Structure 1
């Protein structure tokens, strides 16, 4: 007899490149401002702010992208994603890549920008702006054994064939070892955690029917079309079918 009052939700999983196994998603951490958005902008002295999305926000980064409810300003942000394979607290930066990073992916940190602006003005939390359904599309995870630890390569995004965002991984203000170490000083990381590492300049609004394409180095490519249809109900049972903006 089950000791649960109802069946537990199905876990969120991501495909793994070159494997039939899946990567089980735990928590999703998103790094704020981590690229220079203006020529000559100095590197900040403090690590960027971070926020979270639920694991259920993670979906495959292809096909239709549902328009989220409650917004008139739905914005894109392309990012490299770090997949954690071994957890820990107070991790030293030099230990991050050899011992804690399992792989990498390309992801979108989608934002209801109008709700984010409202939250800023009120000094309130960002969950409504960031943590909605389907807000973290992600490509399959590429294991470190396949791609190594990428330090160079284009991070780009185009809408309807017109490029909006472009940078290089070498331009991250705080690279992966320092970001992961920073997070581990605040919360104990665990296997399955995903870390979205920040987006370049050029974030902007999407419209119904827009065709979005994006990529990160040789790690992953995204191809999605914005749809006005409401997002499908998330599976909750193991047998269910599974404009320029300044912010921290």
Structure 2
């Protein structure tokens, strides 16, 4: 992947991270009662920013350099986290509504399910900004795809077919009359979720594309500073049969130049 497309992808991720907070905040704010919404809304903000702050501090303190393994994992996991967020927002809303409509015994039986969904939602909310940070902030050593890495026609069909299927499933939410929910906050949450799921599905296509590119990649190009020096360091990483990555020592692919 060329430098222009890489910079564009980083810019896209940064804008997404800044705009991502508001829909999640509104989802939580409208879904819970007045005495709960302020607490949960504040908690979402803390969960969104504090883990990223601590990740930055740990990275700087221990002077951790990015690795090819984590480069690959973050792109796989970010694509999965985007899909999981959509599903969890819908499930979280459904559990909340069923808990309000049904009797006490049913509500108690849903309590354990609600805990599981809430924990998963918390993990996703915490992970997405951390992943985006590690996508964009590794200035010491940066990895990129080779320009020769492409998607096959079958993979293009799978990519757009999968997201089209998700869009069709999310579109079924528009068949439901949200005004029948009665409570204004629940109606607003329902309208938010069904629209945000479609937007998030579209915005997650670049993440899925990146994940498939990495699936096809047997080599990665890296560029940065040689550890503990000021020398420029460029070269290739190659993937071993066991899935690990190592520097390709071929002279034509590996180069160290002094600044």
Normalising by structure 2, we get a TM-score of 0.24
Q: Which has the higher strand share?
A: 1
Choose between structure 1 and 2 for higher RCO, CA contacts under 8 A separated by at least 6 residues.
1
Q: Which has the higher helix share?
A: 2
Select the structure of larger CA radius of gyration. Answer: 2
